[in-house]
Chain A
Amino acid sequence: MNKKTSVSDQRSAIKVLLFFLLFTVHCSLFSAFADTSDVYLSITKAGGAKIKIAIPDFLVQEGAIDRENFSKKSSEILTNDLNNSGFFKTIENRDILKEIDAKDKKTGKINFNEWTSLGAEILAKGHITIEGGKINIECRLYALKSGEQIIGYKYGGDRTTFRQMIHKFSDEITYRFTGENGIAQTMLTFVSKVTGNKEVYISDYDGQNIRKITDDKSISLFPKWSPDGKNIIYATYRYRNPDLYLIDVADGKKTPVSIFPGINAPASWSPDGKRLAVSLSKDGNAEIYTMDFDGKNLSRLTKSRSIETSPAWSPNGIEIAFTSDRGGSPQVYIMGSDGTNLRRLTYQGKYNDQSSWSPDGNKIAYTSLNGGQFNIFVIDLVSSKVQQLTSDTGDNQNPVWSPDGRRIAFSSNRDGKYQIYAMNSDGTDQRRIIYLEGGGYSPSWSQRIE
């Protein structure tokens, strides 16, 4: 009896020991993994504290043309991208960055302690080589505490895609730390009167790389990116009527989509890019219709004596928000994309228009005219709670969400003429992103372009 007991005691003691050992091994394994990659994710998730990153000027091979410029530009673009993302805080003192970088170059290794002493947690470095017209950029990201390389990529391109390569690296960094793709490779389209006529322009999401894509010498209005980023739909008076045209961004080819007598705008893409919701007045007054993106299979959604305009297709494709004055003043309504289940959304304010769905479909940003001033508001579709994002800064119009839902671009005349601005979706960090003599109106933000 006694012997047996002692054996079973021994066995259970071994079991406990084994379990303890396994548990310990498990824990240490877990923490080992955590130290390498997962920890980066958790930094951002804990209360929105930003990750501090050091970005010295990129190294450019000796003897390259425009060496200084490439070196400075590259770090500038990346710095701006990561600050825009909302997840990172860049080290601002460029002299110190230069000094430590020079030391790295001299010693032939990265002095992690020195970089850490700046308060940085991560370090981004780039090495540019230029051969003929071809530009190669080697980009590496290091975790300073562990002294390990987190990611490394080599990009190849030319002068025209130089910014895109850096944007790509920025999006990789954002993805690494948030698990979500960045928006540095997205684009904007807007209207400007640079030539004296309203024409359609496109730019990178940061307002750089501005190009004019129409030459109608008329009035061009309401450009909207197609979901695949290949086309833009817009209204033009070129043929003496506000018609709807599709423009292929790559080759500039224009195709008429809707040219009924009367107004054929504004339009909104269905999220799959197959259909358009458009305000047409062909039957006597402005009503919402849907049609294929080539103008076929027209379907009428509203029927009233009032104005129905500014359709905005929901991100899940099920609903369409629009503006109607059927209640006596312009207000935002929502209906199914087949015209059923109509309901009024906005009750606050006497003049609401230009609705834009957040990418998650939970909120709608819109413009409200109050006391002679336009301001941007956001309404939560679940709680119906309304939040005012702009105030006391001139007129603010045409809110459009970035595809990650973190930023809202809009047009504002706070500095004189209407120009394109962007802010966080809670109204903080309002900044002008484009300045043109001809002003900036009616922005549209592209999806992430694959």
Chain B
Amino acid sequence: MVKNNVKYLLAIMFIVFSVSVFINSCAPKKPKVDQTAIMREQQRAAEEARLKAEEEERRKFEEAIKIEQERKAAEEEEKRKFEEAMKAEQKRKAAEEARLKAEEEGKRGIEEEKLKEEEEIKPQIAREAEVKVVPQLDDIHFDFDKSDIRTDAREILQKNADWLQNNPDIKIQIEGHCDERGTAEYNLALGERRAMSTKKYLISLGISADRIYTISYGEELPIDPNHSEDSWAKNRRAHFLVITK
């Protein structure tokens, strides 16, 4: 009997063992698989959350930059507007000053207006003309290496201009001359400048540019061939001739 019991016991144990093996091999596997999936799911969720957070952060950062840029642009625009306004103000002021100065000059004389005309006047030549000296037109004189109209010359030019106003059909030739104390090359240009500044002065006194021809003789035709301060002063001149043909 004992032997039988043992057999039964063994049989039961076997059955129990088999059942447990069966249970172990089938049922318990499922929950284990689920566990990993959940962990993965959790990890993914965490990752997504992190990415999302990062994305959000970046978006916020970019937004901040954008806002900063917009702010800066606005500031610059403001600054530009301000500068423009300043410039406009300055321009207005300059214009006002120029106007005032022009008014002032208008009261004092004609200096400023003359300069404006300078750029436009070009030399004219009377190639086929015949010329003669008339006693009514006097020479004017210049300082060494200068072509500006001296005070003593203004009077003479006024007189010459008056005569020209009274003789509106007469055309004249102005010759620019230099003394020998300069190079022939430079004096050619200086004589031209003397003739031109004389012409401009006459224009400013109301004489038409069409009536005035100019030519530079540089240092080639001195009126006084001597080599003294006196002779040089005489030779630095603008000479007036009437065109007869």
Using CB atoms and an 8 Å cutoff, list the residues of chain A in contact with chain B. 198, 219, 221-222, 237, 239-242, 261-263, 265-266, 279, 281-286, 305, 307-310, 323, 325, 329-330, 351, 353-354, 367, 369, 372, 374, 397, 441-442
Contacts and interface: CB of A to CB of B under 8 A. Distances in A.
A396 to B, nearest CB: 12
Contacts of B189: 263, 279, 281, 285-286, 307-309
13 contacts: A219-B220, A240-B215, A261-B123, A261-B124, A262-B122, A262-B125, A263-B188, A284-B121, A325-B186, A329-B145, A330-B183, A353-B183, A353-B186
Interface string B125-147: 11111000000000000000100
A441 B186 contact: no
Contact of B196 (A279, A284, A354): A284
Nearest to B191: A263
A150 to B, nearest CB: 46
Most chain A CB within 10 A, of B128, B185, B215, is at: B185
A198 B126 CA distance: 22
Given A279-B185, A284-B196, 13 more contacts: A219-B221, A222-B184, A237-B217, A242-B188, A242-B215, A261-B122, A262-B192, A263-B188, A284-B120, A284-B123, A310-B185, A367-B183, A369-B181
A397 B180 CA distance: 12
Interface string B191-211: 011001000000000000000
A281 B183 contact: no
B182 interface: yes
B31 to A, nearest CB: 90
A262 B123 contact: yes
B122 A282 contact: yes
Nearest to B127: A240
A200 to B, nearest CB: 14
A207 B188 CA distance: 28
A140 to B, nearest CB: 47
B186 A285 contact: no
B188 A265 contact: yes
Nearest to A222: B185
Contact of A442 (B119, B184, B215, B217): B184
Contacts of B119: 284
Contacts, number: 105
B114 to A, nearest CB: 13
A263 B125 contact: no
Nearest to B183: A353
Nearest to B215: A241
Given A262-B123, A281-B189, A397 B183 contact: yes
Closest 4 pairs between A and B when the two form their complex, measured CB to CB: A262-B123, A286-B189, A307-B189, A353-B183
Contacts of A239: 127
A281 B181 contact: no
Given A241-B127, A242-B216, A263-B188, A283 B183 contact: no
Contacts of A325: 145, 186
A305 B115 CA distance: 11
Interface in B157-199: 181-186, 188-190, 192-193, 196
B220 A309 contact: no
B124 A281 contact: no
B75 interface: no
Contacts of B83: none
Interface in B195-245: 196, 214-218, 220-221
Nearest to A310: B185
A310 B186 contact: yes
B122 A310 contact: no
B84 interface: no
A323 B123 contact: no
A437 to B, nearest CB: 16
B182 A351 contact: yes
A323 B182 CA distance: 13
Contacts of B127: 239-241
B57 interface: no
Given A241-B127, A281-B123, A310-B185, A263 B145 contact: no
Contacts of B62: none
B103 interface: no
Nearest to B190: A307
A6 to B, nearest CB: 88
B78 interface: no
A311 to B, nearest CB: 10
Interface in B72-127: 118-127
Contacts of B218: 242
B212 to A, nearest CB: 12
B193 A354 contact: no
Contacts of A237: 217, 220
B126 to A, nearest CB: 7
A369 B217 CA distance: 21
B36 to A, nearest CB: 80
B181 A441 contact: no
Nearest to A285: B193
Most chain A CB within 10 A, of B123, B217, B220, B221, is at: B123
A263 B183 contact: no
A367 B183 CA distance: 8
Contacts of A241: 125, 127, 215
Contacts of A330: 145, 183, 186
A374 B190 CA distance: 18
B185 A354 contact: yes
B184 A263 contact: no
Given A239-B127, A242-B216, A284 B184 contact: no
Contacts of B186: 307, 309-310, 323, 325, 330, 353
A139 B115 CA distance: 70
